Structures are given as structure tokens and as C-alpha cells.
Structure 1
Amino acid sequence: MSPLKVAVFGATGRIGGRVMNLLIKSDAFAPPMAVVRKKEQVELFKDGATAAVTSIVEATVAEIANTIKGYDAVVFAAANFRAGGESSALLVDLDGCNKVVDACKLANVKRFVLISAVKAQDRDFWDVVPGFKPYYIIKNAADQYVFHSDLDYTVIQPGWFNENKGTGKMLKKQDLSKTESEQWPITMDDVALSVTESLQHPESTTRKVITLSNGDTPMAEAFKTF
């Protein structure tokens, strides 16, 4: 099988950057493409990768499609709620995601991996963290757009990020009744690893939602059997 050609939106972010590093290091993938907003960001991806300047806020769907044409898969790791607030998240996390979904259809890129948020479809959970309800509304709406597309999607819904060293392990049998935010810790390294595992195991992860928190099951094992 030929190495997968993957384009990453949000490649300069905390998760997207880690995804790029894993893609670059793995023989399972061709040199990935970082889709960036600014020309100066291209310089970040000189070794083992390429970069294309295409703003998901400013570009048309057709322009985005032209950027990703010929790729096997797209990863959407762009997020702007923390940095830009609700209005910026509407443009990036919601409409940006929707535009990339439409661009994938136009460019005939079927495989799509989205980084979402834990329990994004559970309205009873949205008030667990004060101030995050607008974020959850946006994430749920973006997820729904993906669910109703004809893409071969995997929606990864990680819990609360931390910068601890990656464990390579996850909680396979999720207790979705848990409502406390501290019940869903996940390292950013392991979120990135979940993306590459999803891409390598489409047979078990396509059209699936994967809730992600750290646990005892090796992720390389877990992603073979969802």
C-alpha cells in the first residue's frame, strides 16, 4: 500500500503540530502538507513536509478544494475558541470546518478526521466548565455537519488537554455517564497519536465517534477494534 498523503488544517496549533510531527516520522505516510494562514508560517515546515497558504476563513470552498486536491485524507485540527473567543470560533471551528468538508467533497477526498470535544452531543454536559457552553454549541454544530456528509469521517472527541508526556494508552470502555470534567484527562501527545492511528485503521474507525481519555489500553490495540 502506498503511503497516505495527508493534509492538516491547524498544523501550527498544539494538536496539529504534534500530528504533523507524527506524520513526518512514520513510514506509513507520505510527507504531509500543512495548510497555514500566513506566508511566514511556511518556514515552519521545511523538513519532511510541505506547506500551502490557504486561510479557511478567507478562502472559498473551491480554493480550499484546489489546495487539497490529490490528497488521500484531511485532518481538521484548527480551533480558535481559546485564542479568539466565540466570534472567531464561529469562523474557524464551525464555518471553517464546514467549508473544509465541502472542499473535501469537491476535491474527492473521502477520508476526514476531525478533532472535536468530549461529549459534544450531550447538552447536559455543556455547563460542566463555566464559560464553555458557546464552545460546545459550536463543536456540536460542526460535528453534525460532518455526520451528515458522505465523507469517511472519524470524529475524535478528546477530554481535557494536558501537556504531560504521552502515554500511548487510552480508556477503551468509556463511562459516558461521568459528568465531572476532571474525569476526562488526555495528553496532547495522545490526541495526536489518535489521529494517526485512525488514519491507519479506517476499517475500524470510519464513520465513528471516538471518545478519548487516558487509560490502560494501548492505543495501537484499541484503534484496531472500535
Structure 2
Amino acid sequence: MRVVIAGGHGKIGLRLARLLGEREEHAISLIRSLAQEADVVALGAHPLVFDLESGSAQDLARILDGADAVVFAAGAGPGSGVARKDTVDRGAAVLLAQACELAGVRRYVMVSSMGADAPPPPGTDEVFAAYLVAKKAADDDLRTRDLDWTILRPGALTMESGTGLVHLAEHTGRGQVPREDVAAVLLALLDEPRTAGLTLELVAGDTPIDEAVAGLLS
């Protein structure tokens, strides 16, 4: 399986690249700068520098040519302001969808955020509110496209080691989840094309990942 990861140097993107590399299915990881290359190569992935904020859909489509799937795991990251929440968390996700359509790549798995469908509660920090608004707009855009999309909305992300045990459903309630388990769920969703068209929430739980994904289809 040839997978292109947008946000290939992010914490989830790197973990997904490692999992694919362990299966000798080497990801193409889109990175922001040459300084990030070594980290990606060490995991067995192929880094490509591409600016998701200023690049064109046509140029990105050329990179996607021949891919089986894409994963959007990019984010503006800590310390970014309201403007970059829009240009990355919304704009880059939309750009990737446009490129998929141009390149004929149907499978698109989106890393979104729990709570993206609801308006930010009163008193929410303006940057986090902008993040949720951007994530909702990206999800809404993806749902309108003739692509085989799956939207994954993790709870609060942690740096703890993954357990391989999760709660994955349309609605899970609030909770936390290790980034390692998010990456493993992304891989399981890529392996199961029948999850296309689903919007899913993810938190830590007590169900093995493969069983959790299979349970969505029963």
C-alpha cells in the first residue's frame, strides 16, 4: 500500500510512517523543511518537501500520482495563531482533497478533533476556538467530495506509550488517547476500506484495535 502522509514530521505522522515501514510499506511523508528529512528516513519513509500552505493542488497531485491512499495528519502546531489554524488545519486539508481528485486517489483518512462539530463553548481560548472551527470546515468540505473518506476524531492526545486498546465509535464521550494508538488506528482504517464514509471518535478503551474496527462493520 502506497500512502502519502501530509504532516509527515508531526508526532502522529512519524508514528504512522514507522508502522508502515515495519510492514515494508514505505510511506511518502510530506515535510516542511530539509531539516526534517533524517527523522523520516530513519523510519523507512520517503520524505518530500512540500509547503501545504502555499503549494498548488496541481503540484501536489503530481506527488500523489500512483498513491493508494492519503492521510491528513498535519497541523499548525503549538504556538501558532488564529491565521495558521485556518491555513493549515482547514486550507491544507482542502488542498489535499483537491489534489486527490486531480490525481484520482480515492482513499482519504483525516485526523480531525473531537468536538469539531459543536460551536466552541463560551470562554474558549480564541486560538483553540479557531482550531475547532478550522477542523469542522475541513471535515465539512471532505464530506462533500466524491472520495472514500474516513474522519477520525481523537480525544486529548498524550505522549504515553500505546496500549493497543481503544474505544472507537461514532460517539465515545470525552477522554484521552496516546498518539501511538491514534497512528495504529489510522493504519487499521487504511486496511479496511469499508470504513469509508464514517466519522469516528477515538479514546483509550479496552478493545483491541482490530476488533474495534471490525465492530464498526458488524
Same fold (TM over 0.5): yes
Report the CA distance shift for 1:37/1:198 in structure 2 as closer, same or farther (over 3 A).
same
Structure 2: gaps spanning 5 or more residues: none
Partner of 1:214: 204
- Please give the root-mean-square deviation of Cα atoms over the aligned residues, in Å: 1.7
Partner of 2:215: 225
Please give the alpha-carbon distance, in whole angstroms, between the structure 1 residues aligned to 2:86 and 2:157.
Answer: 21
1:54–1:67 CA contact under 8 A, matched in 2: no
- 1:100-157 per-residue CA deviation (whole Å, 9 max, x = no partner) reads 100000000100011000131122xx22883122211111000000111111011000
Please give the alpha-carbon distance, in whole angstroms, between the structure 2 residues aligned to 1:128 and 1:116.
Answer: 21
Partner of 2:17: 20
Equivalent pairs, count: 213
TM-score, scaled to structure 2: 0.92
Secondary structure of the residue aligned to 1:223 is: helix
1:116–1:143 CA contact under 8 A, matched in 2: yes
Please say if 1:39 is aligned against 2:34. Answer: yes
Partner of 1:184: 175
1:174: Cα distance to partner? 6.4
- 1:183-220 per-residue CA deviation (whole Å, 9 max, x = no partner) reads 311111111111001001112x1111110001111111
Please say if 1:88 is aligned against 2:84. Answer: yes
1:164: Cα distance to partner? 1.2
Structure 1: gaps spanning 5 or more residues: none
Report the CA distance shift for 1:128/1:152 in structure 2 as closer, same or farther (over 3 A).
farther
Q: What letter is aligned with 2:100?
A: C
2:171–2:201 CA contact under 8 A, matched in 1: no
Secondary structure of the residue aligned to 1:118 is: coil
Report the CA distance shift for 1:174/1:90 in structure 2 as closer, same or farther (over 3 A).
closer
Please give the alpha-carbon distance, in whole angstroms, between the structure 2 residues aligned to 1:46 and 1:81.
Answer: 22
Secondary structure of the residue aligned to 1:93 is: helix
Secondary structure of the residue aligned to 1:82 is: coil
Partner of 1:197: 188
- 1:16-73 per-residue CA deviation (whole Å, 9 max, x = no partner) reads 111111111125xx21111112123223333422121111112111001111111000
TM-score, scaled to structure 1: 0.88
Structure 1 stretches of at least 4 aligned residues deviating more than 3 Å after TM superposition: 172-176
Partner of 2:7: 10
Give the counterpart of 2:124 among 130, 140, 144.
Answer: 130
Counting aligned pairs with the same residue, the percent is 29
Report the CA distance shift for 1:129/1:103 in structure 2 as closer, same or farther (over 3 A).
farther
